[in-house]
Amino acid sequence: MFPEFRTFKTTLAGRPLVVETGKMAGLASGSCLIRYGETEILCTATMSAKPREGVDFFPLSVDFEEKLYSVGKIPGSFQRREGRASEKATLSSRVIDRPIRPLFPKDMRNDVGVVATVMSVDPDCLPEITAMIGVSVAISISEIPWDGPIAGVSVGLVDGKFVINPTEEERDKSEMAVTVASTADLVAMIEAGANEVDNETMFDGIMYAHKVNQEIVEFIKGIQKEVGKEKIPFESQDPDPAMFEAVKEFAIDMVKEALDTDDKRIRDERLKPVYAAVHEKFDEVYPEEITKIDDCMYKLQKYVVRRWLLDEGKRVDGRGINDMRPLDAEIDLLSRVHGSGMFTRGQTQVLTVTTLGTASDAQMLDGLDKEESKRYIHHYNFPSYSVGETRPPRGPGRREIGHGALAERALLPVIPSVEEFPYTIRLVSEVLSSNGSTSQASVCGSTLSLMAAGVPIKAPVAGISCGLITEGDRFMTMVDIQGLEDFFGDMDFKVAGTKNGITAIQMDLKIHGLTPEIIKEALEKTYAARCKILDEVMLPCIAEPRAELSKYAPKMLTTKIDVDKIGDIIGKQGKVIQKICAECDCKIDVEEDGSIFITALDIENAKRALTIIDTIAKDPEIGAIYRGVVTRLMTFGAFVEIAPGKEGLVHISKLDVKRVEKVEDCVAVGDEVIVKVTEIDDQGRINLSRRDALIEVEGAVPEPGSEEAPKRGGRRDGGRGRRNNH
């Protein structure tokens, strides 16, 4: 039935890795079903027959498709089918995209589509790692031109030792989660989150993963040798070398003059007449290739910037190689928000706003892993005006999702636990101006905003990027790359962390990979830069988290009760908890483990709700004082509800510090009074005293002889024996 069906087996981190070809998706250019443990993913790669017209980039799409059947779930949507890709799926697509994209020919314009369909998930075998290897196999055995293969693994740090592809249990204990992709000899991609891991440990972990990757690359090469198709030629879309040389000779001096400024706006204005002059001269010379004249101008700018850097150590804005642009930090820019901070680096500017919410504000997740919600959320917005352009507003794209996730990962290690700070925390980073590395500016702005909001973060975090220019064996790195150096350079190596260590890394490459020397130098330079940002700009702005929350932020109290008391707190059809919320103007969240979160704008309301809950959940104690509500009047006294479902009797002799003739002369139904528990009998009936509470709390002085009960009204027990009838 399947004459070309082949199976290839190896072992990765002690678990079987199996690749099956020739059985599924036979019409794709390349396909395989990859099994790692019990994680199983169908990976396919296809390419259009002709180049796409009118594009000046390589049109590659990478899709990581999460199927909820892979974890035995039915989608929670109305139609009960998978919809738009989740943020986790988008991030997984980006992790796969980054190491494979630089290995395609830069002058190819044929559409290439890569799809990884997750069909079964073993929690111990991450699907994104499995998919990365499977995609590499699918492209390698296809006829699509590509300089792979690559391989990828995750490395953790558990009990001081590196672990390749840690299991679910090991991931929970790991001090870092680093994804490393490699070619046969270079590191092609790094994506990291870590709990303040030092440079040396991070570097050693990357190299440890790189060594394992090289073994997998050899395994894939063996598959490619046996079943791989011959790579097909493609139509290059690069401009003719003679055309480029002609444009270069005519315009190079004008381009140099235009680029030589630290202001992006001035640079763009200077380039407009240069483009006009070039088109005026060459449109008639190359009438069939007018669109490629702009390609020549792009290549010429790239040539100038790279020659300046490599040959002269010169940056377009005049900075030294290790110098950062002017820095600035501000807080409290917005009046009514819970916290705000703005970080500016040159013409890159990000404003981050902190909002504090309740436990029920946590984001619900419907994905392939065990995480069902998260209480720390980071969103990143990149409007068109931030780069001086105009386009209709749209929802967040892959870039916005990716940069928000990077900033979220960078700050996660310093976010206080729910026990320390029981709030849901949402950060929104608004990019106001962009000229390079806005994601790392959002890390800095977020730290400022969190501290201004009074969130007790464990340490301030800063982020910075490092660029790279290579030529043969020559290379040079530079700190704080601006947009032009990002466009025309070879690397954007983003590192965020505290003074103690790294919390996040994301590496974008335009070349095949990095040597260990480049990685080590980038780590060292970014550490020095982020320490400078912290010491000279951020900490002088705000040295530590504020002790008090904003007056506009909700105030929260927490308690924990016995699980069997949860029903008493909620009440039948939720009536008890609704009553507490209404009376105390608060919001109450009850967790399954008995944890209770009370939120109110007024802390006194929260304290009152806490007292009520404690009263319901715990039996009243003699001597305790409560604030209750009068529910019934009798001739012998008043019944006071000290908590929903719990009331006691205040005898007429205990209603006030002075003599009371009639109960209704002292209190009325609905009155709020303070009372003290004086007795709890064997049947659980509660005797209360308003008189004792007034003396103890308000310092009232009793009137002589006021404790004597009035003669009318019968026995001194006030008809206590009749209480059960009322």
DSSP state, residue 323: P
pLDDT digits (tens, 9 = 90+) for 225-267: 999 999 999 888 888 999 999 999 999 999 999 999 988 889 9
pLDDT value for 624: 87
* Residue 633 pLDDT > 90: yes
* Residue 717 pLDDT > 70: no
Q: Does the 241-312 domain belong in CATH 1.10.3470?
A: no
Domain ranges of the chain: 6-227, 241-312, 327-490+527-541, 554-611, 619-726
DSSP state, residue 535: I
Q: Are the beta carbons of 103 and 135 closer than 8 angstroms? A: no
CA distances from 46 to 85, 98, 111 (A): 20, 18, 8
pLDDT value for 706: 57
Rounded Cα distance between 312 and 315, Å, is: 9
724: confidence class by pLDDT, cuts 50, 70, 90? very low
The first and second tokens of residue 477, run together, are 């790195």
86: helix, coil or strand? coil
Rounded Cα distance between 90 and 84, Å, is: 10
* Residue 334 pLDDT > 70: yes
Rounded Cα distance between 139 and 146, Å, is: 7
Angle at 192 between CA 219 and CA 478, to 5 degrees: 105
- Give the mean pLDDT of 540-560: 93
- Give the mean pLDDT of 556-564: 89
The alpha-helical segments, DSSP class H, found in 382-470 are 398-411, 438-453
Q: Are the beta carbons of 254 and 301 closer than 8 angstroms? A: no
Q: Are the beta carbons of 62 and 55 closer than 8 angstroms? A: no
Q: Are the beta carbons of 409 and 193 closer than 8 angstroms? A: yes
**Highest mean pLDDT, choosing among 208-222, 311-325, 469-483, 596-610:** 208-222
Task: Tell me what the pLDDT averaged over the chain comes to.
Answer: 91
- Give the mean pLDDT of 465-474: 93
Annotate 463-522 with three-state secondary structure: EEEEEEEEECCEEEEEECCCHHHHHHCCEEEEEEECCCCEEEEEEEECCCCECHHHHHHH
Residue 357: CA count within 13 A, CB half-sphere: 15
pLDDT digits (tens, 9 = 90+) for 17-59: 999 999 999 999 999 999 999 999 999 999 999 999 888 889 9
DSSP state, residue 122: B
Q: How many CB atoms lie within 10 A of CB 559?
A: 15
Rounded Cα distance between 400 and 253, Å, is: 37
Q: How many CB atoms lie within 10 A of CB 294?
A: 15
H or E element, residue 486: helix 483-488
Q: With CA atoms as reference, report the closest residue to 409 among 370, 463, 348, 479.
A: 463
| CATH number of this structure's domain 6-227 | 3.30.230.70
Rounded Cα distance between 529 and 156, Å, is: 26
Parallel, antiparallel, or unpaired: how do β-strands 60-66 and 110-120 relate? parallel
Q: What burial class does residue 107 get, using C-beta atoms within 10 Å of its C-beta: 0-12 exposed, 13-18 middle, 19+ buried? A: middle
726: confidence class by pLDDT, cuts 50, 70, 90? very low
* Residue 707 pLDDT > 70: no
pLDDT digits (tens, 9 = 90+) for 111-120: 999 999 999 9
319: helix, coil or strand? coil
Rounded Cα distance between 515 and 185, Å, is: 8
CA distances from 172 to 167, 169, 206, 218, 591 (A): 9, 5, 20, 31, 22
Q: With CA atoms as reference, report the closest residue to 555 among 420, 337, 356.
A: 356
Q: Are the beta carbons of 600 and 553 closer than 8 angstroms? A: no
Q: What share of the chain is helix, strand, coil (3-state, %, to 5)?
A: 35, 30, 35
At 92, the amino acid letter reads S
pLDDT value for 725: 35
Which of 61-65, 326-330, 617-621 shows the lowest mean pLDDT across its residues? 617-621
Rounded Cα distance between 532 and 526, Å, is: 10
Q: Which residue has the higher pLDDT, 279 or 705?
A: 279
Rounded Cα distance between 113 and 362, Å, is: 35
Residues in the chain: 726
- Model confidence, pTM: 0.84
Q: Does the 554-611 domain belong in CATH 3.40.50.300?
A: no
The first and second tokens of residue 691, run together, are 């008189």
pLDDT value for 137: 98
Asked if residue 149 has a cis previous peptide bond (ω within 30° of 0), the answer is yes
Rounded Cα distance between 490 and 475, Å, is: 10
Locus of tokens 């009331």: 647
Rounded Cα distance between 246 and 515, Å, is: 36
Q: Are the beta carbons of 56 and 70 closer than 8 angstroms? A: no
Q: With CA atoms as reference, report the closest residue to 273 among 289, 251, 291, 293.
A: 251
713: confidence class by pLDDT, cuts 50, 70, 90? very low
Rounded Cα distance between 621 and 623, Å, is: 6
| CATH number of this structure's domain 327-490+527-541 | 3.30.230.70
Q: Which residue has the higher pLDDT, 151 or 725?
A: 151
At 354, the amino acid letter reads T
- Supply the DSSP string of 173-241, one letter for each residue: H-SEEEEEEE-SSSEEEEEEEEEEE-HHHHHHHHHHHHHHHHHHHHHHHHHHHHHPPPPPP----SPPH
pLDDT digits (tens, 9 = 90+) for 391-402: 888 888 889 999
Q: With CA atoms as reference, report the closest residue to 135 among 227, 41, 58, 223.
A: 41
Rounded Cα distance between 192 and 430, Å, is: 24
H or E element, residue 547: none
| CATH number of this structure's domain 619-726 | 2.40.50.140
pLDDT value for 189: 97
- Give the mean pLDDT of 275-288: 92
The first and second tokens of residue 356, run together, are 């504090």
- Give the mean pLDDT of 140-154: 97
Strand partners, 448: none
pLDDT digits (tens, 9 = 90+) for 345-397: 999 999 999 999 988 888 887 777 777 789 999 999 999 999 888 888 888 88
- Give the mean pLDDT of 172-183: 97
Q: Are the beta carbons of 481 and 494 closer than 8 angstroms? A: no
- Supply the DSSP string of 669-720, one letter for each residue: TT-EEEEEEEEE-TT--EEEEHHHHIIIII---PPTTTTSPPSTTSSTTTTG
CA distances from 380 to 91, 446, 491 (A): 14, 11, 22
722: confidence class by pLDDT, cuts 50, 70, 90? very low
The first and second tokens of residue 201, run together, are 């440990």
pLDDT digits (tens, 9 = 90+) for 404-416: 999 999 999 999 9
Whether 327-490+527-541 shares its CATH topology with 554-611 is answered: no
* Residue 715 pLDDT > 70: no
Rounded Cα distance between 711 and 44, Å, is: 95
Q: With CA atoms as reference, report the closest residue to 520 among 578, 466, 474.
A: 466
Locus of tokens 């199927």: 67
Parallel, antiparallel, or unpaired: how do β-strands 376-381 and 373-374 relate? unpaired
